[in-house]
Amino acid sequence: MVHFKISGGEIEPTVEISISEFVFDLKSKIEDELEVEIHRQNLWYKGIEMENDKRIGFYALCGDETENVTLVVNPLPPGLKLHVLVKFHGRSGDGYVRVVETDKVSDLRRKVSRYWGIPINIFTLRRFNVEMADDRPLHAYYINHDSEIKLCLDIQPR
């Protein structure tokens, strides 16, 4: 078994796969983990683009150590609007917000603030349990249509 740390965005999961499986199978596991469709994924290992029809072992992996692979995601068409689900336990429940994958997290936070009437300075957004930074684009967090984002209130007790 090989463990791949997937880098390239703000979320960096580790995926386990056998050296006898294909790169396509690795992409399928990444799709399950990050919700990025296989056809949008380009994987790079030590400066070489990994090909879907090659076995993982073809790339002469080291063995017991965790290997790094870089995920480059093909962008969506410019201006394509996505609906993302912002989950907020409390007040009004969950809601969908329209975004473009190149929007910044701060843009999404402003929309959420207007939608629920929550001051922007008392909440954060999280994706796959990673806090989203305002200056980063949404695609850095693998935002796709119907992606789920968790709204977390940061209210300090008195």
* Burial letters 106-119, b for 16+ CB under 10 A, else e: ebbbebbeeebebe
Instruction: Report pLDDT for 88.
Output: 82
Specify the pLDDT at position 115. Answer: 87
> Which pLDDT belongs to residue 92?
61
Question: Phi, psi at residue 141, to the nearest 5°?
Answer: -110, 20
Q: Which residue type sits at 23? A: V
Which has more pLDDT, 61 or 152?
Answer: 152
Q: How confident is the model at residue 62 (pLDDT cuts 50, 70, 90)?
A: low
pTM of the model: 0.84
Torsion of CA 112, 117, 118, 119, to 10 degrees: 100
pLDDT tens readout for residues 92-127: 678 889 999 899 999 999 999 998 888 999 899 999
Averaged pLDDT, 49-54: 96
